Structure 1
Amino acid sequence: MENLQGRILWKAFIEGNDQSFESLYELYIARLFAFGMKYHTDRDLIQDCLQDLFVNIYHYRSNLNPDVNPLSYLFAALRNGILARLKQEKKNLDTTALIYTFQLEWSAEMTWIKKEEDRALIYKLQQFTQRLPARQREILYLKFSEELGYEAIAEMLNITVPTCRTLVYRAIKQLREQIENLPLVHLLCLFFKRHSL
């Protein structure tokens, strides 16, 4: 439902509806901020990048594609903006190193898990997930938390769809090898759950 709402607002915004721009902002700002904080812990920097992002899309809206998935477009634009800002601030730092700093944190919603056994399993999953390469953590987040499709993730990260699928497969395989006899997909969904019950 949110995806459909986002697409409707995106098209209306591109056609010149300023109210749709405000609604897009309200719909996605919290998720974009949370996503940005996975690349850098400086809240002010992330807020500046978000402001730049929304100013730019407003200014250049006539050049935007009305048929894209707005959330994946905004994620990609924010990611690129953060990496560009970090590179600008630290001229000698390799941009490739910046791309692989994606951090996964437990969401506050995990407190709703009541059973001690479930908490222990989720804790193990968190430990093993942090051992994955940052690119795999990033893809797992986009796939399971943000529920983006392989095509959207591949486009956002500038990789092929088969590479994206392979990275998800390898990450899940590595986690499965670490955590035996557990319903891994169920655990991943709990781990990345955005909304409390």
Structure 2
Amino acid sequence: MDVNSWKEFLQGDEKAFSSLYRSYFNELFAYGLKIGFDEEVCKDAIQDVFYKIYISRNQLTHIRNIESYLLHCLKNRLFDIHNVETQINYINYNDIILESENSVVERIIEKETELQWKDEIKRSLRVLPPKQRKIIYYHYQLNLSFNEIAALLDMNPEAVKKSTYRALQKMRENQQLKNPFLTFLLAFL
């Protein structure tokens, strides 16, 4: 019957294909389990084998022992799945470790750099008179415009702008390290 089903399938009979699938599924499933694969992987591999046979039936006319051919195809498909899963697990594991290590180190460096800049800015702010400190705070921390600061401090907007410039110049002159943040701030005035 299996030989007849195989021949009929090769000639295009859809029912013969279903018959082949039902006839060999249990044998293929048992074989997959016996060589060490879990049930879901075996079922998926059997589906893959029969799909490949279905789409390439015109090239399979030379196959005489369908049982042997199916077992061979299943074994190859199972080992292909195993190799892909092993490679994915290996790559993911290494990527996760490297990514975690890099991101932790990068975050530590960024945090340390940020703390250094903040300390340096605080030191630089200490040399400013209170009014200039307020202007810097309003402009860069609260994002207030020169007009808004002028209204708050009862000043001329042009005077606020000049005071901001002078404050930043003074901070830059008094900083011990070259701070790119302060240079950046000065560039926009």
Range into which the TM-score falls when normalised by the shorter chain: 0.3 to 0.5
TM, length-normalised to structure 2: 0.45
Structure of greater Rg = 2
The structure whose RCO (Cα within 8 Å, separation 6+) is larger is 1
Q: What is the TM-score of this pair, normalised by structure 1? A: 0.43
